[in-house]
Amino acid sequence: LAKTTQPISMDSYEGQEVNITCSHNNIATNDYITWYQQFPSQGPRFIIQGCKTKVTNEVASLFIPADRKSSTLSLPRVSLSDTAVYYCLVGAARRDDKIIFGKGTRLHILP
Protein backbone atom coordinates (compact mmCIF):
# COMPACT_ATOMS: atom_id res chain seq x y z
CA LEU A 1 0.00 0.00 0.00
CA ALA A 2 1.53 3.28 -1.12
CA LYS A 3 0.94 5.30 2.05
CA THR A 4 1.81 8.98 2.12
CA THR A 5 2.56 11.42 4.93
CA GLN A 6 2.10 15.16 4.60
CA PRO A 7 1.72 18.04 7.08
CA ILE A 8 -1.75 18.56 8.44
CA SER A 9 -1.70 22.31 7.94
CA MET A 10 0.46 25.20 6.74
CA ASP A 11 0.18 28.98 6.78
CA SER A 12 1.80 31.38 4.35
CA TYR A 13 1.42 34.92 3.03
CA GLU A 14 0.34 36.27 -0.29
CA GLY A 15 3.15 36.51 -2.81
CA GLN A 16 5.26 33.86 -1.13
CA GLU A 17 6.34 30.55 -2.59
CA VAL A 18 4.82 27.59 -0.77
CA ASN A 19 6.37 24.17 -0.67
CA ILE A 20 4.44 21.16 0.61
CA THR A 21 6.42 17.98 1.09
CA CYS A 22 4.97 14.51 0.97
CA SER A 23 6.71 11.35 2.18
CA HIS A 24 6.10 8.04 0.43
CA ASN A 25 8.80 5.60 1.52
CA ASN A 26 7.35 2.51 -0.15
CA ILE A 27 6.64 3.96 -3.56
CA ALA A 28 6.78 1.35 -6.33
CA THR A 29 8.82 1.70 -9.51
CA ASN A 30 5.83 2.42 -11.75
CA ASP A 31 3.96 4.65 -9.32
CA TYR A 32 3.13 8.17 -10.31
CA ILE A 33 2.82 10.96 -7.73
CA THR A 34 -0.30 13.06 -8.10
CA TRP A 35 -1.43 16.19 -6.29
CA TYR A 36 -5.00 17.38 -5.98
CA GLN A 37 -6.44 20.62 -4.66
CA GLN A 38 -9.80 20.90 -2.94
CA PHE A 39 -11.72 24.08 -2.18
CA PRO A 40 -14.60 24.09 0.31
CA SER A 41 -17.82 22.64 -1.10
CA GLN A 42 -16.07 21.35 -4.20
CA GLY A 43 -14.57 18.08 -5.34
CA PRO A 44 -10.78 17.62 -5.53
CA ARG A 45 -9.16 18.99 -8.65
CA PHE A 46 -6.04 17.62 -10.34
CA ILE A 47 -3.01 19.94 -10.07
CA ILE A 48 0.07 18.10 -11.23
CA GLN A 49 1.49 14.63 -11.72
CA GLY A 50 4.97 13.20 -12.17
CA CYS A 51 7.10 10.10 -11.96
CA LYS A 52 10.64 11.47 -11.55
CA THR A 53 12.80 14.62 -11.44
CA LYS A 54 10.76 17.75 -12.03
CA VAL A 55 7.44 18.59 -13.62
CA THR A 56 6.11 22.09 -14.15
CA ASN A 57 2.81 23.38 -15.43
CA GLU A 58 0.99 26.69 -15.34
CA VAL A 59 -0.15 26.11 -11.77
CA ALA A 60 2.68 24.42 -9.89
CA SER A 61 5.94 22.50 -9.93
CA LEU A 62 6.58 19.03 -8.62
CA PHE A 63 10.06 18.10 -7.44
CA ILE A 64 10.95 14.43 -7.06
CA PRO A 65 14.41 13.44 -5.77
CA ALA A 66 16.27 10.48 -7.18
CA ASP A 67 15.22 8.06 -4.44
CA ARG A 68 11.55 9.05 -4.96
CA LYS A 69 10.79 8.55 -1.25
CA SER A 70 9.37 12.04 -1.06
CA SER A 71 8.13 14.78 -3.33
CA THR A 72 7.50 18.50 -3.02
CA LEU A 73 4.65 20.50 -4.47
CA SER A 74 5.73 24.08 -5.10
CA LEU A 75 3.19 26.87 -5.55
CA PRO A 76 4.82 30.09 -6.79
CA ARG A 77 3.60 33.45 -5.52
CA VAL A 78 0.45 32.24 -3.78
CA SER A 79 -2.67 34.34 -3.46
CA LEU A 80 -5.62 34.17 -1.09
CA SER A 81 -7.42 31.99 -3.62
CA ASP A 82 -4.83 29.24 -3.11
CA THR A 83 -6.26 28.59 0.34
CA ALA A 84 -7.39 24.98 0.05
CA VAL A 85 -6.63 21.40 1.05
CA TYR A 86 -3.88 19.72 -0.94
CA TYR A 87 -3.66 15.94 -1.29
CA CYS A 88 -0.62 13.92 -2.25
CA LEU A 89 -1.30 10.50 -3.75
CA VAL A 90 0.94 7.73 -4.98
CA GLY A 91 -0.12 5.01 -7.36
CA ALA A 92 -3.55 4.42 -8.81
CA ALA A 93 -6.84 3.67 -7.11
CA ARG A 94 -7.62 1.22 -9.86
CA ARG A 95 -4.79 -1.08 -8.88
CA ASP A 96 -4.51 -3.29 -5.86
CA ASP A 97 -2.48 -0.69 -3.99
CA LYS A 98 -5.56 1.50 -3.71
CA ILE A 99 -4.53 5.12 -3.21
CA ILE A 100 -5.73 6.86 -0.10
CA PHE A 101 -6.64 10.54 -0.04
CA GLY A 102 -6.62 10.89 3.73
CA LYS A 103 -6.96 14.38 5.17
CA GLY A 104 -4.38 16.22 3.07
CA THR A 105 -2.61 19.48 3.96
CA ARG A 106 -4.79 22.44 4.82
CA LEU A 107 -3.04 25.51 3.37
CA HIS A 108 -4.10 28.89 4.67
CA ILE A 109 -2.87 31.97 2.83
CA LEU A 110 -2.83 35.18 4.84
CA PRO A 111 -2.98 38.72 3.39
Nearer of residues 40 and 111 to other proteins, judged by Cβ: 40
Please report whether residue 30 would count as binding other proteins according to CB under 8 A. Answer: yes
Please report whether residue 32 would count as binding other proteins according to CB under 8 A. Answer: yes
CA dihedral over 101, 102, 103, 104, signed as positive or negative: negative
Nearest distance, CB of residue 49 and other proteins, angstroms = 6
What span, in angstroms and rounded, lies between the C-alpha atoms of 106 and 16?
A: 16
Nearer of residues 31 and 82 to other proteins, judged by Cβ: 31
List residues bridging with 46 in a β-sheet.
36
Cβ-contact 57, 87 below 8 angstroms: no
| R_g of the chain, CA atoms, integer Å | 13
Q: Residue count at the site for other proteins (CB under 8 A)?
A: 25
Binding site for other proteins (CB under 8 A): 30-32, 34, 36, 41-46, 49, 51, 87, 91-94, 98-104
